[in-house]
Chains A and B, each alone.
Chain A
Amino acid sequence: MKKQNIDRRHFIKISSLASGGLVIGFTLPGFQAVAAPTFDCEFFQPNAYLKIDKQGKVTVFVGKQESGQGVDTALPMIVAEELDVDFRDVKSEIAPYGTLKEGEHDTGGSQSVMTVYTQLRNAGAVAKAMLITAAANVWKIKESSCAADNGEVVNTITNKRIKYGELVCQAALLPIPATVTLKNPKDFKLIGKSEKRSGLKDILTGKTKYGIDLKIEGMLYAVSERCPVLDGTLVSVDDAAAKKVPGVVKVVSYTGTGAPMHVRAGVAVVATNIWAAIKARNLLDITWDEGKKNKESTEALFKTFETKATGKPQIEIFKKGDVSKYSKNEISATYAEPFLAHATMEPVNFIASVKGDTCELWGGLQLPDWAVNSIAGIGGFKKRKH
C-alpha cells in the first residue's frame, strides 16, 4: 500500500466529509476504475473559493456583495477560466462570513474584480492542477501528458478523457500544490467576453431574496426615526400615541455615534409586524436639537475642499504606462462630490438574532466586518471563527 501525502488542513476536511468514519489517506494497489473512488466524498473543495461535486458542477463562493454590479457573474468567470469548465456548470453562492480573511468580504470602490482577480485565478488553477494529477495517477502517466479541457482531463497520448466530476474524490486526497502556473491571457476563453448575468430569471420571477425579504421565527420589526442632522441629539419624545398602535412592543431612544459609522441619534419603534412599526413611528412626536451641523451646505463643503486642497502635495492614485509619451494630450479636470446618500431602492435593513450569549446576523452589507465588530463590541459578544 502506498501512503498518500495529505496536507493536514485538507485531510481534516476530507475526514469530516467521508461517511461512516471511513479512514482514508491511502489508495488501493491496482486501482483503476475511475467510477469507483477509494472513499466516498460529496465534493472536492481545495480552498474557500470553490467546490466541485461528483456531477462536475462547480460552486464558486463569492465574497463580494452582489448589488447589481455583477460580481456574482464576473468572479465565477475568473475561477471558471483557470479551471477550464463550461460556464453553464458554474453557479455562485455567497462565501459564508468568516471563510475568507478579514476585509476580503468587503465590497467597495469598484474594485471587486481588480482586488480578487489573481486570487481567484489561483484558486481555479489549483483545483485544475489537482484534477490533472488525479487523472495522471489513474492513467499512470505524467501530468505533462494530461491537459484540461472544458470540464474534462484529456490524456494527450491516447485522447481518452475523464470528467472532472469523476475525479473529485481522488483529487480531494491530493496535497495542495504550493505553486501553479496561470494561463497565458491570450488563451482566455471567458475573461474578456460577455456573459449573461447569473440569477436573472430569479429576479424576473420575484424569487430573488434580498435582505429585506428574510424572515426568522418570532422576529420583531424595528423602524426608526432619525435626527435629520448628523451629530444632532434627541431632546424629547412623546410616544403615547405610538404605543397605542396594536402590535407595538416597545419604543427605544438611542444616541448617535461619530466616525466611522456616523449613526444618527434616533427613536426606534419595535413591533410584531413592520406595518405597525411604520405606523407608530409616524405618530412619534419628537423634538431634536439639530446641533452645529444644521447650517452646513454643499457650497460650504466645496469651499472647505478647495481651501484644504490648496498648497497640499498631490497624491498619485493610479499609474499605468508612461504618461510622458502622451503629454501632448494632457487633460485636466477638477471633480468634487457633494455629500450624498446612496439612496438604495431597498431600504437599509438588518436582522440580528440574540440567543443567550450568541448573536446571529443577516443582511446585505458592503462591509460585514464593520457590522460584526461593532455589534460584538456593543453586545459584548465574542467573534466566532468560521
Chain B
Amino acid sequence: MAILADFKAEKPTWCPGCGDFGVLNALQRASVELGLDPEEMVVVSGIGCSGKLSAYFGSYGLHSIHGRSLPTAQGVKLANRELTVLAAGGDGDGFGIGLGHFIHAMRRNIDITYLVMDNHIYGLTTGQTSPTSDAGMITKTAPTGAVEEPVHPLHLALVTGCGFVAQGFSGDIVQLATIVKRAIAHKGFSFVNIFSPCVTYNKQNTYEFYKSHVKKVEDDPTYDAGNRFAALERVTEANALLTGVLYEGDRVTFEDGHAKYSTKGLATQEHTLSDDDYVKLLADFR
C-alpha cells in the first residue's frame, strides 16, 4: 500500500501560502486513503501556477498546454480505463481558454476527476483578470475594475448534467480531501471547484474572506445533494459560497455507453489483426 511519501515528487515552487499547496496536500491524502497506486494514476494538468500540480504529485503526469487538460485527460482514460485519471488546472485554464472542453467533458461523462484551483486571477502570468474575477475587481488588465459578469462554474456544471459537482477550499484540507476522495470514487465525470487563494495577486479573495463567508453543506441537515435543482437554488442563494458535495447523481458513463468498448485497458493489450480479420474486412471492397 502506498503511503503519503509515495505521492510526493518535486518540491513545489509555489509562493509560500499559495492555496495550491492545500490542493496538493488534499489530493495526496485522498489517494492514500483510497489505497491508490501512484503508478496506476495519471494527473493531466494545464498551464498556470495550478498546472504545476502534476509535477509535484507522485503519479504519472502530463503537463499539457493551456486550457487543454480535459481533452488530454479524456484521451488518457480512453487509452487505459483501468487507470485513475485526473485533470487539474486554474480558473483561466478551465473557464477561459478551455471552457468549451469543460462543458463537453461533463456531457460526455468519461470517468475522470477534474480539480480546478479557482483563485479568481491569472497567477502565473502575474495578475490579470480571470473569467471568475468578481465584477469590479481591479487587476492589471482591468485598472478600473472588471466589467464582465464572471463565469459561474457550479451553475454550469449543474445545468450541464454533471454527475458530481463539489466545491472545496484549500484552507480546509480535511474537508477537501474527503470531497476529492468521493470525486475520485464517483463513477463518471466529477468536478471539484476549489477556492485556492492566490496570496500574491489577489488581495480580495483571501483565506480570511473564505473563512468568514463560506458555509459547508455538511453542516446543514436540510441540504439535499441528490437534487440537482435544489442544489442550483442553494448555490445561487449562497452566491456560490458553499463547500462540500453539492450534487451527486447516477449517469451512464461514456465508456459503459459504448457496449463494445473493451472493459480491459486498451493499453494493456496487443492489437493485431488475423488473416480471418482481413478476409472479413476486405470483403466490403470486393
Tell whether A pairs with B: no
Interface residues of B (CB under 8 A from A): none
Interface residues of A (CB under 8 A from B): none
